[in-house]
Amino acid sequence: GMKIKGLEEYGSVRDAYDEIEKALAMIKNSKTFIESHKAGTEFLKAEEGKEFDSRMEEADEALAEGRKIICHGSSEIYDMLTKTPLYDTARKQWNRYIDAGQNVKETTRQTVSLLPGVIALASIGRAGEAEERYNLLLQSPLYDRETRQWNTSMTAAQQIENTARSSCEQLMNVIALACIGKIRDGEKIYALLMQTPLYNAEKKQWNESMTQKKKISDSTRYASTHLLEVIALSCFERKNDAETMYEALKNTEFYDASCGQWNYSIDEKQKLTDERHSIKNLIGVSALAAIGRTSEARETYGMLKETRLYDKARKQWNWLMNAAQAVENTDRSAFSQLWGVIALAMLEGWKLGR
């Protein structure tokens, strides 16, 4: 008795598929109820029941194929990345950098690369794998169970390397939790983070990092961290707060309105570093999509792909260019490549926290 709305009533084809999945789930639940009654069991054994089962299997297969088509671009890029030296197949972890020639430059395992791996998997419809990967990370030295905070990095041999607590990584954890269905846990962690020295309540800005003993170790304020907060708020369905924050950020030194790009950082005295990093701008695309401004996000993404940050031949993102748009570093970080997958998936219709 559940009516599926017409496709024109949805924001995207992906939204329509979400509704179909809900309908199928209801039908399967109805079948379970039928099976619990003798008359229902007899029906399912009859020809009509066999046809019901057959049609359900066909619907499941068609839905799975449809999902592949919907997220084809982002899924294809993710799969391509797993075939590069950025990915450690044995451990299912991401190295920090490769160079433009695809040679590994650094095998450090950073939280800021591994948590986007979880979000990227969720974004291409592989939610089960995303949760599995997240749970594996919880067992690694990167996670501090006592404080429920993430250390910065460990070696490829899984030895802790840097115990600093970065605001960027902690906010990314909030988003990863939302992506595996633990939005309320994410909200609690977000509230706790705002009580730490990472957050400067006076300026409403995030310091980069603190030590295990909660002493500020880096007071730089990165554009990406503040854009991640916009995304986190949208996960909590605080869309008005998220949009207000996004607009406020556009009126700071973080944003270059002349070309629609995000600068790298400001220090605690608000002095600007105007490098243009791919990761900052890809998270900016995601922030726009998260607050529902998909057309603007798509336009921004298209413009970004026309800059020298993007390697069209390899479909990969260089690390940074300067304000004059000249490339200064062609290294390929896992952080940037994976957020490229996430941004594209959001343009394809994926909703954070769903």
pLDDT, position 21: 57
Please tell me the chain's helix, strand, coil percentages from 3-state DSSP, rounded to the nearest 5: 50, 15, 35
Q: Which residues of 114-138 are buried (b: 16+ CB within 10 A; e: fewer)?
A: bbbbbbbbbbbbbeeebbebbeebe
Residue bearing tokens 């980069």: 208
Q: Tell me: the pLDDT tens digits for 93-128?
A: 999 999 999 999 999 999 999 999 999 999 998 999
pLDDT of residue 334 exceeding 70, the answer is: yes
pLDDT, position 7: 39
Say if residues 206 and 157 touch (Cβ distance below 8 Å). Answer: no
Name the amino acid, one letter, at 177: L
Q: Which residues of 213-252 are buried (b: 16+ CB within 10 A; e: fewer)?
A: eeeebbbebbbbbbbbbbbbbbbbeeeeebbebbeebeeb
Q: What whole-number distance in Å separates Cα of residue 268 and Cα of residue 207?
A: 8
Say if residues 207 and 197 touch (Cβ distance below 8 Å). Answer: yes
Q: What whole-number distance in Å separates Cα of residue 135 and Cα of residue 145?
A: 12
Name the amino acid, one letter, at 63: L
Q: Tell me: the pLDDT tens digits for 254-300?
A: 999 999 999 999 999 999 999 999 999 999 999 999 999 999 999 99
Q: Which residue has the higher pLDDT, 53 or 68?
A: 53
Burial of residue 106 (CB within 10 Å: 0-12, 13-18, 19+) is: middle
The C-alpha R_g of the chain, in whole angstroms, comes to: 22
Q: Tell me: the pLDDT tens digits for 130-149?
A: 999 999 999 999 999 999 99
Q: What is the pTM of this model?
A: 0.82
DSSP string, 299-321: HHHHHHHTSTTEETTTTEE-SEE
pLDDT, position 49: 61
Show the beta-strand stretches assigned E in 50-148: 87-88, 93-94, 97-98, 104-106, 109-110, 143-144
350 confidence band (pLDDT: 50, 70, 90): confident
23 confidence band (pLDDT: 50, 70, 90): low
Mean pLDDT of 76-101: 97
